[in-house]
A and B are shown apart, each in its own frame.
Chain A
Amino acid sequence: MASESRLYQISTDTRARLRKFRLNTSRAQSAQALILSIDKKSFEIQPSTGDVLATLEDIADALPEHAPRFVLLSYPLTLGDGRLSVPYVMLNWMPATVGSELRMLYAGAKELVRNTAEVGKVLDVAEEEDVLAVQEVLAGDS
């Protein structure tokens, strides 16, 4: 973990944004998502879109087809027994067509992002269907 924080940069703005995202979305009515990418030259982890994504379909459309991304997702659900739960998870978007260089870059940063964002779970998604199936996975686990 220590070696990754020397290689990857997360600016204080990004940290503040992640913290605000985590704290503000726990009472939200609809799903909220933030997509992070890593700049290949500077190794800086930064948000790649504003967090206006509200549905799993929007997230699936916004994700590039052949490049990896990290998605921080807060998804309100009503569990089988009526309780309201808003799990805060990270999606590790890694399509099969990604080359090994990018795979290593994102794999190295995965734990760092997980700890900086303080998410509960990490889900690995490789295809659009996996993104859309996230709801079932979250409902099934909680």
Chain B
Amino acid sequence: MSVPEVNLLFHEPIADHSFSADRNLLAVARDSRVQLYARSGNGFALQDELAGHDKTVTSVDIAPQSGKIVTCSQDRNALVWEPSPTGWKPTLVLLRINRAATHVRWSPDETKFAVGSGARVIAVCYFEEENDWWVSKHLKKPLRTTVLSLNWHPNSVLLAAGSADAHARVFSAFIKGVDQRPEPTVWGERLPFNTVCGEFSNSSGGWVHSVAFSPSGNALAYAAHDSSITVVYPSAPEQPPLSVVSITTQMLPFTSLIWAREDQIIAAGHDCHPVVFQGDMNGGWTQAYSIDDPAQRQDSGEGAESSALNMFRQMDLKGRTTSVDDTNLKTIHQNTISTIRPYQGEPGNVSKFSSTGVDGRIVIFPVA
């Protein structure tokens, strides 16, 4: 059981973060810039800054193979940054949206990326060779609210989206000429662009903050604002799903979730520490344990301070008689965790994951 690696980057919220494939480069969204940090020893050193957006950057993603960085922002634009000997060169992508972009992710094969927006549209963008230009196609029906999060299926054609109308949907983002015809999956066979392969809702009407396909792609999990995690196992296209398992918790809502294994989900959110859920289709899902559990954090450090001297010092300085420190949270993160992403391990067996939050820290947690 290894110790989590904590780094306080700065005292500002981090909207999103992304590591390069070799984990030596970290891209972090900081207000309207994206800062690139390089690994140095146990910490990170600021290497470069990408300043192309006018408003807050809402999402960053680094493509593992090609190394390109895509960023999207509230200024309704997305930029693709390519590494060059003289620094990073941005290319503007015309998304044709009239509201902020909220989330961006590269597809697993890195030929396209999807941008969720407040314009009730998901822009699926790909590079057109003959015009040397990034082009976007819109997924419109049946979205009627802001898209809060996106996740690609391993086949790079299916896209899951969580929106503010309490629905998680699976779309087909098949682009003729860019994608190969995918193998049939439980989600569907012939999938023209903008087919809705599945639509699932949250019964309490809570916004769906995060969606994720399982490593095999045969199940979908989503976290909603009523503090629940729902796992859907579809059976066949146009058929009701095999099972829909919902786990409600007594915790604060989760904002981000990932699959560590086919039978293990990690979620984190407003409680500032990650929680692990385990289960499967037949046995159901349960909340297994918390990582960085605040209840288990013994204040062994603070206990030693409860001497008489300290008591009088606290009375003098802060006017209180106890020496309990109530200005810091007991968890490592001091504020909401906004994003967690796999850090180490293959897609079906994640051993470590990284998390960033509103407190400006980046923490790498081990799963066990």
Contacts and interface: CB of A to CB of B under 8 A. Distances in A.
Interface stretch (A27-35, A78-86, A95-103): A95-103
A60 interface: no
A97 B94 contact: yes
B114 to A, nearest CB: 16
Interface stretch (B130-138, B219-227, B303-311): B130-138
Nearest to A102: B131
B288 to A, nearest CB: 47
B96 A96 contact: yes
B199 interface: no
A4 B136 CA distance: 31
Contacts of A67: 130-131
A66 interface: yes
A99 B128 CA distance: 11
A102 B137 CA distance: 19
Interface secondary structure of B, over-half rule:
strand
B96 A66 contact: no
Interface string A41-68: 0000000000000000000000001110
B131 to A, nearest CB: 6
A99 B96 contact: no
A67 B135 CA distance: 11
A8 to B, nearest CB: 19
Interface string B90-111: 0000101000000000000000
A89 B190 CA distance: 37
18 contacts: A65-B135, A66-B128, A66-B131, A66-B133, A66-B135, A67-B130, A67-B131, A96-B96, A97-B94, A97-B96, A97-B135, A97-B136, A97-B137, A98-B131, A99-B94, A99-B131, A99-B133, A102-B131
Interface of A: 65-67, 96-99, 102
Given A65-B135, A66-B135, A97-B94, 7 more contacts: A66-B128, A67-B131, A96-B96, A97-B135, A97-B137, A98-B131, A102-B131
Interface of B: 94, 96, 128, 130-131, 133, 135-137
